[in-house]
């Protein structure tokens, strides 16, 4: 029998990386633009700052995500290798260990033994990886996928305030970038909450609050240390 039901948890890996990248792209680039604009910089300098922030941020996100997730992948690989060695050395002990896990989950002992025996006959390492170590295809670390998703989503997010800064009149640049960034962040927060099955309003309020704080701080620093052109 086929089981075609899709669960949101299957998308949690790429969703986390994509939302993190897009949020960071919008917030960091908008904050950079607002900080430089508050310092009374020329329009060209503001755009150059935005482009530089986009490129540097995308590379930083990809690198950081790759290193972080690759460390998780290395840990999983080492744990699987250790488990494989234990299966070769003492198969019966590993069977008893898996049986005990199923008993703790609510099966009676005879059924737990039968389940453990059948699963280990089919795929012993897979059974122990899933039920003892908590490693499955759904949650397994994928460094390249996470890095690519982070970089692409950062670029997508950073492009928005940069485009607004490019087309907005210089006198209205600060409010235009701030409003566009906040609206897009609120929309993204709501979309991510809906995709993950969480409550939309708290997610929108949370991201909006911290985004306002980030942009206000950088704008304040720019206005404090900037000089009139």
Please write the tens of the pLDDT for every residue from 8-52: 545 555 566 667 778 889 999 999 999 999 998 899 999 999 999
pLDDT, position 229:
41
Domain parsing of the chain, residue ranges? 9-87+143-225
Rounded distance between C-alpha atoms, residue 175 and residue 37, angstroms: 11
Residue in the structure block whose two tokens are 């250790």: 82
| Tokens linked to 57 | 């941020």
SS3 call for 65: helix
Query: What pLDDT score was predicted for residue 16?
Result: 62
Q: Which of 5, 39, 168, 151 is nearest to 31 (CA)?
A: 39
- Nearest partner of 57 among 187, 185, 158, 147, judged by Cα: 158
Q: What is the pLDDT of residue 2?
A: 47
Per-residue confidence (pLDDT) for residue 227, from 0 to 100: 54
CA separation for the pair 79, 133 (Å, rounded) = 8
Q: What are phi and psi of 227, to 5 degrees?
A: -125, 150
Residue ranges in the chain whose pLDDT is less than 70: 1-18, 136-141, 195-196, 227-229
């Amino acid at each position: 029998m086929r089981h075609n039901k899709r669960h949101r948890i299957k998308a949690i890996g790429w969703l986390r990386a994509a939302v993190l990248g897009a949020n960071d792209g919008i917030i960091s680039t908008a904050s950079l633009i607002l900080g430089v604009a508050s310092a009374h910089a020329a329009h060209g300098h503001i755009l150059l700052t935005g482009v530089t922030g986009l490129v540097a941020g995308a590379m930083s996100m990809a690198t950081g995500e790759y290193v972080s997730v690759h460390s998780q992948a290395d840990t999983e690989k080492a744990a699987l290798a250790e488990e494989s060695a234990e299966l070769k050395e003492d198969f019966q002990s590993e069977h008893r260990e898996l049986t005990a896990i199923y008993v703790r989950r609510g099966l009676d002992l005879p059924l737990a033994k039968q389940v453990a025996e059948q699963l280990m006959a089919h795929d012993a390492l897979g059974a122990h990886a899933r039920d003892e170590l908590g490693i499955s295809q759904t949650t397994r670390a994928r460094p390249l996928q996470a890095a690519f998703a982070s970089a692409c989503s950062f670029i997508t997010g950073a492009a928005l305030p940069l485009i607004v800064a490019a087309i907005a009149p210089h006198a209205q640049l600060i409010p235009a970038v701030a409003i566009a960034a906040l609206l897009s962040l609120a929309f993204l927060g709501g979309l991510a909450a809906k995709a993950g099955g969480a409550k939309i309003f708290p997610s929108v309020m949370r991201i909006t609050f911290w985004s306002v704080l980030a942009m206000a701080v950088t704008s304040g620093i720019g206005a404090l240390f900037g000089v009139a052109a």
